[in-house]
Amino acid sequence: MTPPSRVRFLDRTTPPHIATLVLLSGIAALSMNVFLPSLPMMAEEFGTDYAVMQLSVALYLAVNAILQLVIGPISDRYGRRPVLLVSLGLFLLATLGCLLAPNAQVFLAFRMAQAVIVTGMVLSRAVVRDMVADAQAASMIGYVTMGMALVPMVGPTIGGVLDQMFGWRASFGFLFLSGAAVLALTWADLGETATPRKVSLLGQFGQYPELFRSRRFWGYTLTASFASGAFFAYLGGAPFVGTEVFGLSPAVLGLYFGIAALGYMAGNFISGRYSVRIGINGMILRGTLIAGSAPLISMAFFALGATHPLAFFGVMALVGLGNGMVMPNATAGMLSVRPHLAGTASGLGGAIMIGGGAGLSALAGALLAPGTGAWPLLGIMLATSLSAVLAMLYVRRIDLREGPLAEGAPADPPQG
């Protein structure tokens, strides 16, 4: 995608280049999954249960959700650039803590602190909405997240190889170096895109009810939450399935993890190419139906006696494909309901998504035990995927009754 003409790369007086936004989102995604193939080995080294180490995903997501509630309003008040630079610096300190942690408790404490990097994911979306509007924003977010998908696709593979060669701490060394590079790029390239607001920070938080009253905001947010919930459950349970059910090594498990990311990248490409033509609601509905078919297909394979890892990991490409179509468009819908609250909407919507994801990730880790196979995880993924379909049908019902959200409109009626 061609960046807007007013963008000049490595000129911090202009809006950022799309590559900077890709990497800001990518470092947040990398932090979430680069070490996942190492979880069983980390549990063994720290002398604790897998369920305890799996909290490094669930607790991270929970803190992630809480932070998103404040990141959006703060950035709407003070600007995207300073919030991003401070957050990246704090992330580097937390990553050093994870790297040097002597036990599971210290590791989990610094792991929760690493969640500050969610700023990159939240504000890269808000920056896009600052620059362009509605369906065009969905298209640009699609391209941003398509590029972002490349990072988490190779992340578990790199993490698995580093674990096998140097131990699990090498993944966090790699994460620290990557974060330092993104901090330098952000400082050099990202100009401020938010329009200065005279509303106090307390007043900014006071505008949450304006979003709470919007049924469209809730419809898009719940659609995105349920769709991403299936993926977060996968993140929480797939390391167990790969290790305990299929006996995969960390390096091989990392390769299988990349299959879902390939599907996600394909879905993002479809969003970037066709969202303007099809419309965000049509794209979201198609994506939820595709993602919902994945756990059903995998269940059918297992019921027929399949024993190859592709019966599980291969089908997850459909979850990635569907989410790649849903997330950019649902995010654009959330941010377009109240464009003047784009940062707040991105943070609140993200908090709801990630908070639900934290719960589903923890639930998947708790339900999976020797002898259960992948069935509990597939059941969770099926339930959340079908819920995403229902939430999107609710948005379409609002459109039928009240008319679609106008392109570039400053706000829909308070009930919409």
Residue 251 domain flag: yes
- Spans of the chain, pLDDT less than 70: 1-5, 133-138, 142, 145-150, 152-153, 196-201, 204-205, 339-340, 342-343, 358, 405-416
Residue 412 domain flag: no
Q: Where are the beta strands (DSSP E) in 229-280?
A: none
pLDDT of residue 237: 84
**Could you tell me the CATH number of the domain that includes residue 341?**
1.20.1250.20
Residue 333 domain flag: yes
Residue 10 domain flag: no
Residue 407 domain flag: no
Burial 163-189 (b: 16+ CB within 10 A, else e): bbeeebbbbbebbbebbeebbebbeeb
CA–CA gap between residue 62 and residue 359 (Å, rounded):
8
Which pair of tokens denotes residue 80?
A: 């995207």
Residue 1 domain flag: no
CA–CA gap between residue 92 and residue 32 (Å, rounded):
14
Q: Which domain holds residue 338?
A: 18-192+200-402
Domain count, the chain: 1
CA–CA gap between residue 293 and residue 316 (Å, rounded):
10
Please state whether the predicted TM-score (pTM) of the whole model is above 0.75.
Answer: no
CA–CA gap between residue 320 and residue 149 (Å, rounded):
10
pLDDT in tens, 155-168: 877 888 898 889 89
pLDDT of residue 201: 64
pLDDT of residue 286: 96
pLDDT of residue 407: 46
Residue 229 domain flag: yes
Query: Which residue in the block uniquely carries the two structure tokens 């033509």?
Result: 277
pLDDT of residue 102: 92
DSSP result, 274-309: HHHHH-HHHHHHHHHHHHHHHHHHHHHHHHTT--SG
Residues in the chain: 416
Residue 286 domain flag: yes
pLDDT in tens, 11-32: 887 888 888 988 898 898 889 8
Nearest to 404 by CA among 280, 231, 259: 280
Burial 123-152 (b: 16+ CB within 10 A, else e): bbbbbbbbbbbbbbbbbbbbbbbbbbbbbb
pLDDT of residue 222: 93
* Residue 245 one-letter amino acid: V
